[in-house]
A and B are shown apart, each in its own frame.
Chain A
C-alpha cells in the first residue's frame, strides 16, 4: 500500500468513530442523574403560602413532574408560559419545587404570572433538593405511577422538550385531569 495514503486511512477510521460518538451523544448531553430508574426521593416540605406541609407520599400511584424553580432564575421566567400550557392541557400534574427562594417573592410571582402547579412546596434552605441532585434551576423530573424517576430535564421547558422528552414517555391513560387540583 502507498504509505502516503496511510494518514488518510487512519483519519477515515477516526471519522467513523466520531460519527458513532455523535449519534450517541444526545444521551450524554443531559447531566446524567443518578436517580434515573430509581425511586424518587421522599420529602415533606411546607406548602408555599399555607400553614401546612405536603408529603411526597401523597403522589404515589400517579404520573407527575417535579419542577424546580425560583424567582431568582431568569430561565424559570422563560419556561413559565410553557408550564402554564402544560397545566392547561391537563396531561400531567406539575409539582412546584420552590428552591432557595423567598416565600413572598414566590407568591407574588405566581399571583402575577399565573400558577401552573398543582401544589408548590418551599425548600427554603435547599436541603431536600440535595437528595434530588439538583444542580441548577430550572430542572424538571418526570416520575411514573410507581414512583420511579423516568427522566430529568435540565434547563427551560420548551414545547419541543415537552413533546419529545416528556409527553412521549407518558402512557395514554396517564393523565388524571385535575386529579390533584
Chain B
C-alpha cells in the first residue's frame, strides 16, 4: 500500500513538473503574470510529492517489505538500519529517485531565494529546472520504477552489495548528486539569460553562490568516494582513473573553471559567452556522467546495473537538454559580447589562463575516458587507457595552472599589474623553495624529479593565498567572507598538492607472505602477524588478522585487517586495518590464503595521505564560506 502511494506520488510529481516547466516558460513568453504566478506553487508541489515518494521507498526498506522488488534485490532483514536506509540509493532505481528529489530540493531553494530576481527571469529559471525534472521523473517511471512489486514475494532479500555497506559510501552518492544536480541551477540561469538575450553583472552575482555551493558538494562527494576506495577496496590508493571517477571529475574541473569565469563576469562584465558555455558544459558533463554509469556503455567497477534500454532513454534526454542548450547558445550567445578590455597581467588575464588550462585538463580526461568507446565504435578493437596516459597528461595542464594560480593570487583587476606586487611574489616563492629544500633534504629522502616541483608549488600556493588576507588585516581593512573563503580554498589546494606529492614519492609498499608469528619489513616498519581469528558481524563472518606494527623497534600499534564473507551475497570483502597519524598512515590489508597457514598481506606506509581528503573538505568549506558573503544575500536591484 505504502509502495503504491509512493508510485502514485511520483506520477503526480511528474504532472507538477510539467506544470512548472510549462507555466515557467510560457508565462513570461506571452507576458501573462497570472500564468507565471503558477510556477512557484507547482515547484513546491513537485518537491512535496517527490519527498512523499522517496519517503515511501525509505519506509519499504526500513520495514523490510520484500514484496517490493527493489527492496528484495538490495536489502536483507539482517542488514543494519543505517544501511537499510542507504540501500535506497544502493542501486539504479533508487539512485534516480534520489537524483529527482535533490533536483526538486534545489529547485525549491531557488524558488524561495529568488525574491529579488525579476519575476519573468525567475519563472524561466524554474521552468528550465522543471524540464530537467520531467526528464528524470519520466525516466524513473518509464524504465526504472523502484516500486514494482515482486510476485511472489520472497521471504528475505538478496542484501545490499557488501561494497556499499560502509558509512562513507552511504554519504557518497547524496553528496555527489547534490553537486551534479546543483550545477543544473547554473545551467538554468544560463539558459534563462540566453532566452532573454540579456546577461549583465547582476546575473553573474545571482549565479555565483549557487554554482559555488554545488561545486562544494561535488568536491566533498568525490573526496568521500576516493576515501572509501582507499580503505574499502584494499588497493590502498586514492585515485584510479576509473571511468566513473573521471565522470565525476570532469564536471568538477569545468565547475571550477565556471566559478572563476563567473568572478570575471561579475566584477568586469567580461567572458560572457564563455561563462554561458561553461555553465552548459558543467551540467552536461554531470548528465553525461549519469549516462556513462547507467547505460552500460562503459564497463567499470561501478556499473552495477546497466541496461541498454535505459541508455537509449538517457541519450534522447541528453540530446534534448544539452542539444537544446547548445542550439540556444549558437543562436543567442553572439548577442552577448563583452566590450571592456584588460591588461595582459591583470587578474582577468590570469583567470582566462586558469579557464583554458582547466578546460584542457577536462578535455584530456574526456579523451582518455571516451577513447575506448570511440575505438570500439569505429571497430578498431578494444583499447584500455590507464595510469600511463592519465598521470602525465593530467600534469601537463595542471602544473602550469598551479604556478599561474600562485602568481595570479597577487594580481589585481583590470589594470593591476603583477609588477607592482613583484616583492610579494618573489618573497613567497623564495620561502616555498626553502621549505621544499628542508622537506626534500631533511625530512624525507629519495625524491623523484617532480617531488621538489610539487612541494614548491604547493607551499607557494599556501603562502600566496595568505598574503592578501594578512595584508588587509594589518591595514585594518574589512575581511569579507568571500575573500577569506577564497583564501582558504586556494590554501587547501596547496595542502592538497603537497600531500599528493608526499604520497606519490614516499609511499612504501610490499606484499608480504606471512604465517602467524612471522614478520616482514616495509622500510623502517616491521609488520608482525600475531594472530588470525574468526569474528562475526550482523550479516557477515570474518577472518580477522592481528598485526603488530613497530617502527625501528618502537611499537606503532596493533591493526586488525579483516576479510569479510557476507552471507547473503556470498561475497568476500577486505576491510583494511589502518593506523592514522598526523604525518602518515600505516595500512595493512589481508590478501589471499596462500596455503600452509600463510597469508598474503598487503603492507603500506603512506605519508600525509589523509591530507588529500582533508584538503578537499577544507576546499569545499572555503567555497561555502565564500558563498555566504553578504554581497550575495543583498536584494539585487533589478
Contact = CB atoms under 8 A, between A and B. Distances in A.
A23 to B, nearest CB: 8
Contacts of A136: 569-571
A18 B291 contact: yes
Interface string B306-325: 11100110010011001100
A173 interface: no
Interface in A130-149: 136-137
A99 B323 CA distance: 50
Interface residues of B, number: 47
Nearest to A137: B570
Interface string B40-63: 000000000000000000000000
B364 interface: no
B323 A5 contact: no
A78 B370 CA distance: 38
Contact of B296 (A2, A5, A20, A25): A25
B293 to A, nearest CB: 13
Contacts of B377: 16-17, 20-21, 24
Given A15-B315, A25-B295, A7 B157 contact: no
Given A11-B322, A21-B297, A29-B307, A4 B334 contact: yes
Contacts of A21: 295, 297-298, 311, 373, 376-377
Main secondary structure of the interface of A (DSSP, over half): helix
Interface stretch (A38-46, A69-77, A89-97, A117-125): A69-77
B197 to A, nearest CB: 14
Given A15-B319, A78-B154, A28 B329 contact: no
B333 interface: yes
Nearest to B370: A17
Contacts of B583: none
B297 A73 contact: no
A22 B311 contact: yes
Interface residues of A, number: 32
A171 interface: no
A67 B92 CA distance: 27
Contacts of A29: 296, 306-308
Contact of B330 (A2, A20, A77): A2
A8 B33 CA distance: 34
A19 interface: yes
B117 interface: no
B519 interface: no
A8 B329 contact: yes
A128 B299 CA distance: 27
B374 A17 contact: yes
A133 B334 CA distance: 58
Given A17-B374, A21-B377, A77-B154, A28 B296 contact: yes
B292 to A, nearest CB: 9
A100 interface: yes
B327 A19 contact: no
Nearest to A126: B570
B261 interface: no
B396 to A, nearest CB: 21
B326 A8 contact: yes
B236 to A, nearest CB: 24
Contacts of B154: 74, 77-78
A77 B377 CA distance: 39
B37 interface: no
Contacts of B284: 11
A24 B374 CA distance: 12
Interface in B564-612: 567-571
Q: Which residue, A7, A18, A137, has most C-beta atoms of chain B within 10 A?
A: A18
Best-buried of B154, B299, B323, B570 by chain A (most CB within 10 Å): B570
B72 A74 contact: yes
Given A22-B312, A25-B306, A8 B323 contact: yes
A7 B329 contact: yes
B277 interface: yes
B468 interface: no
A72 to B, nearest CB: 7
Nearest to A134: B570
A2 B273 CA distance: 13
Contact of B277 (A7, A19, A74, A137): A7
A29 B297 CA distance: 8
A33 to B, nearest CB: 14
Given A11-B322, A78-B154, A25 B273 contact: no
Given A17-B377, A73-B158, A74-B72, A8 B308 contact: no
B509 interface: no
Contact of A72 (B291, B319, B331, B568): B568
A26 B308 contact: yes
B296 A100 contact: no
Nearest to A24: B376
Given A21-B373, A22-B308, A74 B326 contact: no
A38 B235 CA distance: 31
A55 B297 CA distance: 40
A100 B572 CA distance: 14
A136 B162 CA distance: 13
A26 to B, nearest CB: 5
Nearest to A77: B154
A8 B330 contact: yes
Interface of A: 2, 4-5, 7-8, 11-12, 14-26, 28-29, 72-75, 77-78, 100, 126, 136-137
Given A21-B377, A29-B306, 19 more contacts: A5-B330, A7-B277, A7-B280, A15-B319, A17-B373, A17-B374, A20-B377, A21-B295, A22-B295, A25-B295, A25-B296, A28-B296, A29-B307, A29-B308, A74-B155, A74-B158, A77-B154, A78-B150, A78-B154
19 contacts: A5-B330, A8-B329, A15-B315, A16-B377, A17-B374, A18-B318, A20-B377, A21-B311, A25-B297, A25-B308, A25-B311, A26-B296, A28-B296, A28-B299, A29-B308, A72-B567, A72-B570, A75-B73, A126-B570
